[in-house]
Chain A
Amino acid sequence: MIEIQNLSKIYEKAHQKVVAIEHIDLKVERGDIYGIVGLSGAGKSSLVRCINRIEDPTTGTVIVDGVDLTSLSGKALRSERQKIGMIFQNFNLLSSKTVFENIAFPLRLKGLDKEQIQKRVLDLLEKVELTEKADVYPVNLSGGQKQRVGIARALANEPSVLLCDESTSALDPKTTKQILGLLKRINKEFGVTLVVITHEMDVVKAICNKVAILESGRIIAEGDTIDVFTRKTSDATKHFIGESVSSDSNHRGNNRLQLTFKGVSAEQPILSGLIRNLAVDVNILSGSIETIQDYPLGKLIVELPGDSNVLIEALDYLSAKGVDAEVLS
Chain B
Amino acid sequence: MMEMLTKATLETLYMVIVSAIFTVGIGLPLGIILVVTSENHIATNKWISGVLSYVVNMTRSLPFIILMIFIIPITRWLIGTSIGTEAAIVPLVFAAIPFFARVVESALHEIDDGVIEAAIAMGATPLQIIIRVMIPEALPSLVLGVTITVINLLGYSAMAGAIGGGGIGDLAIRYGYHRFRTDVMLMTIFLLVILVQSIQSSGNLIAQKIIKNRRK
B162 CB to closest chain A CB (Å) equals 43
User: Which one, B132, B136, B139, contacts A109 given CB within 8 A?
Assistant: B132
Residues in chain A near residue B11, CB distance under 8 A? none
Knowing A137-B214, A139-B214 are in contact, say whether A94-B123 is a contact too (CB < 8 A): no
A81-97 to B contact mask, C-beta < 8 Å, 1/0 = 11010101010111111
CA distance A45 to B141 in the complex (A): 31
CA distance A140 to B160 in the complex (A): 48
A94 touches B115 (CB 8 A): yes
Residues in chain A near residue B139, CB distance under 8 A? 96
The answer to whether A54 has its CB under 8 Å from any CB of chain B is: yes
B133 CB to closest chain A CB (Å) equals 7
Residues in chain A near residue B119, CB distance under 8 A? 105
The answer to whether B58 has its CB under 8 Å from any CB of chain A is: no
The answer to whether B2 has its CB under 8 Å from any CB of chain A is: no
B residues 110-158 in Cβ contact with A at 8 Å: 112, 114-115, 117-125, 128, 132-133, 136-137, 139
Residues in chain B near residue A54, CB distance under 8 A? 117, 120-121
Knowing A86-B118, A92-B114 are in contact, say whether A109-B124 is a contact too (CB < 8 A): yes
Residues in chain B near residue A94, CB distance under 8 A? 115, 133, 136-137
A109 touches B122 (CB 8 A): yes
Residues in chain B near residue A88, CB distance under 8 A? 114, 117-118
Residues in chain B near residue A135, CB distance under 8 A? 216
CA distance A113 to B48 in the complex (A): 37
Task: Give how many B residues have a beta carbon under 8 Å from the other chain's beta carbons.
Answer: 22
B residues 76-127 in Cβ contact with A at 8 Å: 112, 114-115, 117-125
CA distance A93 to B115 in the complex (A): 6
The answer to whether A78 has its CB under 8 Å from any CB of chain B is: yes
CA distance A81 to B129 in the complex (A): 15
CA distance A95 to B132 in the complex (A): 12
A residues 116-149 in Cβ contact with B at 8 Å: 135-137, 139-140
User: Which one, A97, A110, A139, contacts B215 given CB within 8 A?
Assistant: A139
Among A90, A105, A153, A157: residue with most chain B CB under 10 A: A105
- In addition to A78-B123, A82-B122, A137-B213, 17 A-B residue pairs with Cβ atoms within 8 Å of each other are A54-B120, A54-B121, A81-B123, A88-B117, A92-B112, A93-B115, A94-B137, A95-B214, A96-B137, A96-B139, A109-B123, A109-B124, A109-B132, A135-B216, A136-B216, A137-B216, A153-B122
Subset of 23 A-B contacts with CB under 8 Å: A54-B117, A54-B120, A54-B121, A78-B123, A78-B124, A78-B125, A81-B121, A82-B122, A92-B114, A92-B115, A93-B115, A94-B137, A95-B137, A96-B214, A105-B122, A105-B132, A106-B123, A109-B123, A135-B216, A137-B214, A137-B215, A137-B216, A157-B122
Interface residues of A (CB under 8 A from B): 52, 54, 78-82, 84, 86, 88, 90, 92-97, 105-106, 108-110, 135-137, 139-140, 153, 157
